[in-house]
Amino acid sequence: MTRWSQNEFEILVNGYGLSDEELKQRLPGRTCGAIAVVRNGIHSYHNEGKFISALSKMMLQYLKDKRGSLTCPKCGEKF
């Protein structure tokens, strides 16, 4: 398993409205399953859930730094 780069994570975070398959085409090194796991982690993060263990330190810091200007790539809620 290769760590996600910040560029890959930004593509996913900004991919609201795209399916996992469409994101896979933009993220050729990632599977639909990996994309879904990270999307679920982001969704859990903004709902203060317990699934954030799927997110790396870089991802959590990115979400913290950008909080208030993001849209959940799973549900479309702004956070």
pLDDT for the residue numbered 52 = 84
Query: Which amino acid makes up residue 79?
Result: F
pTM (2 d.p.): 0.90
CA 76 to each of CA 18, 57, 71, 72, 79: distance values in angstroms, whole numbers, following the listed order: 11, 23, 5, 5, 9
* pLDDT score recorded for residue 1: 64
Write out the chain's pLDDT in tens, 79 residues.
689 999 999 999 999 999 999 999 999 999 999 999 999 999 999 998 777 888 999 999 999 999 999 999 999 999 9
